[in-house]
Structure 1
């Protein structure tokens, strides 16, 4: 007795297989388009920080001599060479600006994450923050490499010096703001003192006028039509009668 091989209906299986292929292709196409669109949106997002002016100045000074070398030796001899101290100062100012940005990133990170969890902000803001954080990490690494290239082991202490300069700058700005507010507050207190003095003098004048009225009232007769005289006479008469008795 032999076994019969069941016949496979390939026509009925073709429809599910085609459906799976179409579904997989649609999902792949959708994910590819979605990733490209998100990447384009992330690239078009506004930067977290403004332009890095200190970095641009440092790079301009650093590549100035290289541009002179490309243009020829005669022009290089005609133009003076930029001192190394100027380049180091420009790199230090760049590190100071990086310190300010690092403080802003650390201050805003906890607030942004909390707002994102509550749903108060969208994903665009968080993407901007993450991109700024990544760019700042690359910037700090680049500054350390540039510092070590200019002076041996300077990259280990450049941010310590930059932190001290940033702290002194912040303190100086606060002192300048206090001094600017001093004149305005002094003028306000002068006006306030003049107003208080004017009110006090007005109260004194009103008190003097009230005292003058009370003195004049005490010297005037207490009643009209001679009634006080009658009372006095009556009292005198009683006293005389008492003496006679």
Structure 2
């Protein structure tokens, strides 16, 4: 059997304990600081109005235990939950669109870690929101959670299409007004050119008439000449 020198191992063991305690303390403090900084970051999305409306309708109860306030119908709750799912679809599309861009900018160093932390927190919130919507849909109607996002996707696509059509209609009206103004300006310029062209012959005729009607001065003191070129002699 080998004799163990415990006195000689006290210093290395104490060093390892101090080193491990320092590492654990630093890791705990660092994680708490990161959690506080992440909580203080601005949210990626604004307030979820549709979710707040649904929760308000779901937890609406009669005041003071009386029955004056009627219970919210299930059809209204389903409509509110569907609108909540439509908003979630819109946020999912934004997250998927921005993920590649944010990752590329982070690798290039164009953005800081704060933006990436905001994005990751928003992505996790959207995932939790989707699970919550599926649970609420199944609670309102069995197996509705499997198709609620399909219906919400169709509604979101229809809404986006109508917004595009409205934008095209507004742009068409704007271009039509511009073209009407432009056509009126071109017409006025064309009429002005026609008037200028019609005035030019009138001025030319007036100038020619003035030249033809110029009076001829006749000298009465000069004797008239005969066809032969001789002057007439008076009788004596």
TM-score normalised over the length of structure 1: 0.72
Candidates 80, 90, 113, aligned match of 2:80? 90
Equivalent position of 1:191 in the other structure: 181
- Does 2:103 correspond to 1:113? yes
Measured in 1, the distance between the counterparts of 2:153 and 2:139 equals 21
- Does 2:53 correspond to 1:57? yes
Q: Which moved more, 1:53-62 or 1:25-34?
A: 25-34
Structure 2 unmatched runs, 5+: 1-6, 212-236
Candidates 44, 47, 68, aligned match of 2:40? 44
Count of residues paired in the alignment: 207
Candidates 97, 103, 118, aligned match of 1:128? 118
- Change in CA separation of 1:80 and 1:24 when aligned onto 2, cut-off 3 Å: closer
Q: Which whole-Å deviations, capped at 9, do the CAs of 1:200-224 have from their partners, x for residues lacking one? A: 2333344445566777889999xxx
- Spell out the pairing of 1:1-245 with structure 2 (5 A cutoff): 26-65=22-61, 68=62, 71-72=64-65, 75=66, 77-209=67-199
Measured in 2, the distance between the counterparts of 1:155 and 1:144 equals 4
Measured in 2, the distance between the counterparts of 1:25 and 1:210 equals 105
RMSD: 3.3
Q: Which whole-Å deviations, capped at 9, do the CAs of 1:218-243 have from their partners, x for residues lacking one? A: 9999xxxxxxxxxxxxxxxxxxxxxx
Alpha-carbon shift at residue 48 of structure 1 (Å): 0.6
Q: Which whole-Å deviations, capped at 9, do the CAs of 1:134-184 have from their partners, x for residues lacking one? A: 110111111111111111111111111111111111112222223333433
Write 1 or 2 for the structure with the bigger share of helix. Answer: 1
TM-score normalised over the length of structure 2: 0.74
Structure 1 unmatched runs, 5+: 1-8, 222-245
Alpha-carbon shift at residue 117 of structure 1 (Å): 1.1
Q: Which whole-Å deviations, capped at 9, do the CAs of 1:11-69 have from their partners, x for residues lacking one? A: xx96x98877766655544433322211111011111111111111111111113xx39
Measured in 1, the distance between the counterparts of 2:96 and 2:205 equals 76
Q: Which whole-Å deviations, capped at 9, do the CAs of 1:78-121 have from their partners, x for residues lacking one? A: 22221110111111111111111111111111111111111111
- Change in CA separation of 1:197 and 1:86 when aligned onto 2, cut-off 3 Å: same
